[in-house]
Amino acid sequence: MDTLKKDEDSEEVEIDLGDSSDLEESEDGEEPQTLWRAQPSLDEEENIHTSTLVEISDTKPLITSRDARGINDCLKVGFEDVIAEPPSVRSGDRVWIWSNALFEVSRVWIYRIVTALLALPMSAISGLLFGLLSCFHVWMVRPCIRCVLIGNRWIQSFWDVMLHIVVVPFLTSAGKCCGGLGIHLAKE
């Protein structure tokens, strides 16, 4: 198995899972032990579709942007969008950090497990459905509509003449008659 190389310019963000009461350093001057590390998020345009999970994964995504049209923007949910503690009631720092980590890990892995079970059957069903609808539209609906429009060209011409001879002059006259009317609202 190949070893994966990380970018030299990427920095690691360290998160100390100790309580805020554990701020003092140990007697021998060592830093507190870091239990969890996360890669910083990259805000650069060129790296927007590359995440840490993709970099360490043995499979690369087939498409760089999986939601190019933003159809599922409503699913961009973070821990802070679901769970928020007001200043008056707060849990311990460790509870908050571990809850955040558990939320993110469980959200990602439940999604991966469910999509592994459902993605292929739903893709096949959706492909079959859209294939049948496309075939039905191309070979049945559109030719029937074209036949009706070709056969009824005289109805279109007759309707166009009736609109221009009867309806347009009548509505123009009614508009000019009612154009001088005005409504004034007065408070009594």
Separation of alpha carbons 14 and 25, rounded Å: 16
pLDDT for the residue numbered 113:
94
Q: Is pLDDT at 114 greater than 80 in this prediction?
A: yes
Of 49, 43, 40, 52, the residue nearest 13 (C-alpha): 40
Closest CA to 82 of 62, 102, 68, 57: 102
Residue, of 180 and 28, whose pLDDT is higher: 180
Compute the distance between CA of residue 75 and CA of residue 81 in angstroms, rounded to an integer.
Answer: 11
Domain with 153, as residue range(s), is 73-176
51 lies in some domain: no
Residue 58 within a domain: no
Question: Which residue did the predictor score with more confidence, 79 or 4?
Answer: 79
Report the alpha-carbon distance of residue 129 to residue 122 in Å, rounded.
10
pLDDT for position 78: 79
Confidence of residue 19 (pLDDT cuts 50, 70, 90): low
pLDDT band at 6 (very low <50, low <70, confident <90, very high): very low
Residue 31 lies in a domain: no
Determine the Cα–Cα distance for residues 36 and 155; give it in Å rounded to an integer. 75
DSSP states of 70-107 as a string? Answer: -TTGGG---HHHH----TTS---HHHHHHHHHHHHHHH
Provide, for the chain, the percentages of residues in helix, strand and coil under a 3-state DSSP scheme, each rounded to the nearest 5. Answer: 55, 5, 45
Domain count, the chain: 1
The answer as to whether 60 is a domain residue is: no
* pTM for this prediction: 0.41
More confident residue, 68 or 169: 169
- Mean residue pLDDT of the chain comes to 75
118 inside domain: yes
